[in-house]
Amino acid sequence: MALKNVIELGVTDVRACVKVDDALPGIEEGHNAGMWTVGLLLSGNEAGLTLEEYQYADAQTLQVARERAQAKLQQAKPHYLIDTVADLPAVLAQIEQRLLAGERP
């Protein structure tokens, strides 16, 4: 689906694309398409928390959920792991700098 979207959007360099996902297959899809990959630790399925549970969770609960998701997502070796999409702008800035330096996913 990620590569299909790239083609439909007319993107000319897939290496400048970022696949953000909360599950192992999505991260693998990004790698297979040649994209940068970002895994979501707390705002995704692997954390096992509903939105309400996340919003009211204490630090220990969040840490346990983060570690659970990280153990799963690390299997796909994402370029970055972040808690939620609120953390994404900083990662995109880092990726932009890496691209300017000639790095590729």
58 is in an annotated binding site: no
* DSSP state string for 17-60: -EEEESSHHHHHHHHHHT-EEEEESSSSGGGT--HHHHHH--HH
Handedness of CA 20, 21, 24, 25 (dihedral sign): negative
**Cα–Cα distances in Å, from 61 out to 18, 48, 95?**
29, 11, 30
Annotated binding site: 22
Annotated binding site for Mg(2+): 22
